[in-house]
Amino acid sequence: MAVAAALNPWWYTTTSSAGTSSTAEFLPGASFYAGGGGGGGSTTYAAYGLTLVGGLYEAVLVGTLISALLAWLFAGVGLGSGRRGAPSRVPSRLPRGLLVAALVVAVALAVAVPALQPTLYHADNPAGSCSSGAAAGPCGSFWGSASSSGTQRVWGSGAGWGLDLALVGVLALAFAIRLVGGREHAGEPRSSGRGR
């Protein structure tokens, strides 16, 4: 899920007016997609004047890849230490630490992007769109819609953000299962290895 979140847009905005529409999709990394009127393509955040927002989405790319790496390490350590008959050389806290670290990174991304993006977008002020007195639209919120003079604008979270949120749920479930399993294992009497 973390890898899929790194490959999908985390935010979008669509503007429709008189039968035409344009869309921008903010992807993790240095580029976003902009399209409309039958054409479109990728451009860098910096080229469009979104240097602060671009920095946020570069951090998102790094964070999603770190989450994926930590989750894979957790799975690998768990599979390796779960083999029957093999002596465990892995400290019992390592898998839990990997899982907690992956969960913390995923939660931080899920919270930080909606919290920071409107402020960074407002500071970048692309094409002067945030220059009006009242911060409206994407300059003031992560989700929303607005209509003015026959122009409809909708913006909000994309599939990447949703996948990160789903990852938080899966990692939280894995942590709960590990926690309950660890308590049950701790309550088991130790075998002395001697027959009666």
Is 70 within the bounds of a domain? yes
Residue 178 has what pLDDT? 78
Each residue of 45-94: pLDDT tens digit?
999 999 999 999 999 999 999 999 998 998 888 676 655 554 455 556 78
Is 191 within the bounds of a domain? no
Is 190 within the bounds of a domain? no
Percent of the chain residues topping a pLDDT of 90: 60
Cα gap 167→68, rounded to integer Å = 10
Put simply, whether the predicted model's pTM sits higher than 0.95 gets the answer: no
Residue 27, C-beta contacts closer than 8 angstroms, at least 6 positions apart? 7, 8, 9, 10, 33, 57, 160
Is 194 within the bounds of a domain? no
The overall average pLDDT reported for the chain is: 86
Residue 190 has what pLDDT? 47
Inter-residue contact 79 to 51 (CB < 8 Å): no
Least confident of 48-52, 112-116, 150-154: 150-154
Cα gap 105→171, rounded to integer Å = 11
Domain ranges, residue 96: 2-128+136-182
How many structural domains is the chain composed of?
A: 1
Strand partners, 144: 155
Task: Give 3 or 94, the one with higher predicted confidence.
Answer: 3
Residue 45 has what pLDDT? 96
Residue 191 has what pLDDT? 47
Residue 150 has what pLDDT? 84
pLDDT beyond 60 at 134: no
Is 193 within the bounds of a domain? no
Residue 83 has what pLDDT? 56
